[in-house]
Amino acid sequence: MTLAAGALMACGPVSRTQKDENASKRTDETEKLLTNLKKVSSRGIMFGHHDDTVYGIGWEGDEGRSDVKSVCGDYPAVISFDLGEVELGGTANLDKVPFDKLRKEIVNQYQRGGMISLSWHARNPLTGGDAWDVKDTTVVKSILPGGDNHDKFSGWLAKVAGFINSLQTTDGVKVPVLFRPWHEHTGSWFWWGEKLCTPEEYKGLWHMTVDSLRAHGVDNALYAYSPGTEPQDTAQYLKRYPGDKLIDVIGFDTYQFDRDAFLAGLDRSLAIVDSIGKTHDKVIAVTEVGYEGIPDAKWWTGTLLPALEKYPESYVLVWRNARERVTHFYAPYPGQTSAEDFVEFYKSPKTLFAADVNSMYKQDK
């Protein structure tokens, strides 16, 4: 008894200090986003779509337009955008979306009660190529403290911080976002991938990123860790994990090519993040998923939804409907093969869209 009570007392103040430490680095709105993310999984799964309100199939820049809304009547609960090339200081990102437009759509999504996630396909700071340029395997090493490209890369991080800090409503409220850099690192197609840096270098990259953003005053970001489906168990998943102090959301990215292999990988990865989420007190999510061109008319309710139902993921996000690559889309648009089934997916009490989360948060106030 005495020992147990002593142990509890020893734990209590330590964990409270840790919590206070993280909370003190974040705005109230950002803390609220984390609380809501924790709550949401007991209510349902938020649906997300990359670049949802900036372009779609056959349109670009139309005010208020969204392929998802055109199909089911509501916006996604989560919209993600990419910061790629913000580091170069230009006016548009790697997919040619102006940063001013992103800023506006991020505020719009916040004001409709939805969540915003940001990825960053940063260019290769050593070769000058893009994020997919993997010919040099010393890039991460070269940007860590002491490396030849450290100063240059620190400047890039300052640009990212500047953008995240600039996300404000007209009332001056900083919009909370989930920042998800250095994703799919268990594959080797990005310069920060598995075969291109050691686990220590990869973790160092994360620490440098978060430390730098905080030093530049970013207090409106949560952070997501999202490998691919390569890890076969929790130990492999955690091999490059930068730590509970940095990460708020754990997830993974996965795409369907072969249906059976996709379902097996999805289930294995969900079981892994579910287990780690419970022991590390982290929110879990399917940070990217999809079936390019959605050629299966029943994909949403016949494949995706049943696979998700076993686990308490907070959200699932599909990639973009590229207006410049006709076959590169992951959400339906009016008339698309899977559009009717997507409406059924939308109607399922298990899925949450923008209006659902908005009313959920209001009830909780």
Minimum distance from residue 243 beta carbon to ligand BMA (Å): 27
- Show the tokens assigned to 133: 């340029």
Minimum distance from residue 339 beta carbon to ligand BMA (Å): 21
CA distance 274 to 111: 30
Q: Can residue 94 be called a binding residue for ligand BMA (CB under 6 A)? A: yes
Q: Reduced to 3 states, what is the DSSP secondary structure of residue 214?
A: helix
Selection from 95, 115, 96, 119 nearest residue 105 by Cα: 115
Q: Can residue 95 be called a binding residue for ligand BMA (CB under 6 A)? A: yes
Selection from 41, 112, 34 nearest residue 352 by Cα: 41
Q: 64 φ, ψ to 5°?
A: 75, 0
Q: Can residue 201 be called a binding residue for ligand BMA (CB under 6 A)? A: no
Q: Which of residues 302-321 bind ligand BMA (CB under 6 A)?
A: 319-320
Cβ closest to ligand BMA, residue 47 vs residue 55: 55
CA distance 358 to 87: 33
Contact 315, 116 (CB under 8 A): no
Q: Can residue 341 be called a binding residue for ligand BMA (CB under 6 A)? A: no
Q: Can residue 203 be called a binding residue for ligand BMA (CB under 6 A)? A: no
Minimum distance from residue 319 beta carbon to ligand BMA (Å): 6
Cβ closest to ligand BMA, residue 21 vs residue 132: 132
Minimum distance from residue 95 beta carbon to ligand BMA (Å): 5
Q: Which of residues 37-56 bind ligand BMA (CB under 6 A)?
A: none
Cβ closest to ligand BMA, residue 48 vs residue 84: 84
Binder of ligand BMA out of 67, 74, 82, 356 (CB under 6 A): 82
- Alpha-helical runs (H) found in the chain: 2-23, 28-40, 67-72, 99-111, 139-143, 150-165, 199-215, 234-238, 259-280, 299, 305-308, 339-347, 354-364
Cα-based distances in Å from 146 to 71, 150, 153, 182, 213:
52, 7, 12, 20, 19
CA distance 57 to 73: 17
- Show the tokens assigned to 140: 């991460």
Cβ closest to ligand BMA, residue 240 vs residue 320: 320
Q: Can residue 213 be called a binding residue for ligand BMA (CB under 6 A)? A: no
Q: Can residue 194 be called a binding residue for ligand BMA (CB under 6 A)? A: no
Report the 10 Å Cβ neighbour count for 232: 12
Q: Can residue 289 be called a binding residue for ligand BMA (CB under 6 A)? A: no
Q: Can residue 143 be called a binding residue for ligand BMA (CB under 6 A)? A: no
Cβ closest to ligand BMA, residue 94 vs residue 276: 94
Q: Can residue 185 be called a binding residue for ligand BMA (CB under 6 A)? A: no
CA distance 321 to 68: 10
Q: Which residue is nearest to ligand BMA (CB)?
A: 82
Q: 15 φ, ψ to 5°?
A: -70, -30
Q: Can residue 323 be called a binding residue for ligand BMA (CB under 6 A)? A: no
Minimum distance from residue 66 beta carbon to ligand BMA (Å): 17
Q: Can residue 141 be called a binding residue for ligand BMA (CB under 6 A)? A: no
Minimum distance from residue 94 beta carbon to ligand BMA (Å): 5
Q: How many residues touch ligand BMA (CB under 6 A)?
A: 8
Residues that bind ligand BMA (CB under 6 A): 82, 84, 94-95, 121, 319-320, 328
